[in-house]
Amino acid sequence: LIGRASLAPAGAFLAALGIGAFGSLLLTRFTSRILGAMFRESTTATSPEELLGCVGEVISGQVPEAGGELKRTASFGRAHVYTSHGTLLQIPCVAHPGCRLPLKREPVFVTGYDPERRLYTVLVHESEDYVAYLHGHAGEMARFESRLQKSLRAREARAPEPVQGPTPGQHEPDKGV
């Protein structure tokens, strides 16, 4: 009789412990999601349109033109683009038809997104084509100005320091032997 009486409370204790552990896991999960959403400092781009107006750098050899080479070979270039939050993303891209093709390590400005091909359209930043685009799209550029400035600051903040050495014709001072 004593053996049976002691088994019932132990089984109830184990069941209560299991239910309590499961309940606390659920409560912790939902609480952390709510608090995480409330105290979020910033987010990355959530849609392709949020990268329009941002600046990046070509990482592939060259960015092909959107109309010509793309239709035959389905080729595209790649660029690292900084969002307005400073997040670095890698995007597939093509150049505007008739514009100068961006080369490796050149800065590019994101002007469009094609959801069918899932490709971004870019221009060489601060080029003649870029200036012409600015004049033709003044309304869009006013909307992108804040995003552009934040993207430029993020790119500059993460750029490696240039190596300083003697200029051509200048000799290093003798250090004594």
User: What CA–CA distance (Å, rounded) separates 82 from 79?
Assistant: 10
pLDDT tier at 74, thresholds 50, 70, 90 = low
For residue 144, the enclosing domain spans: 48-158
Domain membership of residue 164 (yes or no) is no
Q: Say whether both 124 and 101 belong to one domain.
A: yes
Q: Say whether both 72 and 151 belong to one domain.
A: yes
pLDDT tens track for 83-98? 777 788 899 999 988 8
Residue 36: its pLDDT value, please? 78
CA atoms lying within 13 Å on the CB side of residue 74: 3
Q: Say whether both 80 and 146 belong to one domain.
A: yes
Q: Say whether both 25 and 58 belong to one domain.
A: no
> For the chain, how big is the Rg over CA atoms in Å?
28
pLDDT tens track for 138-171? 777 777 777 777 777 877 776 654 444 444 444 4
Calculate the average pLDDT of the chain. Answer: 77
Q: Say whether both 36 and 57 belong to one domain.
A: no
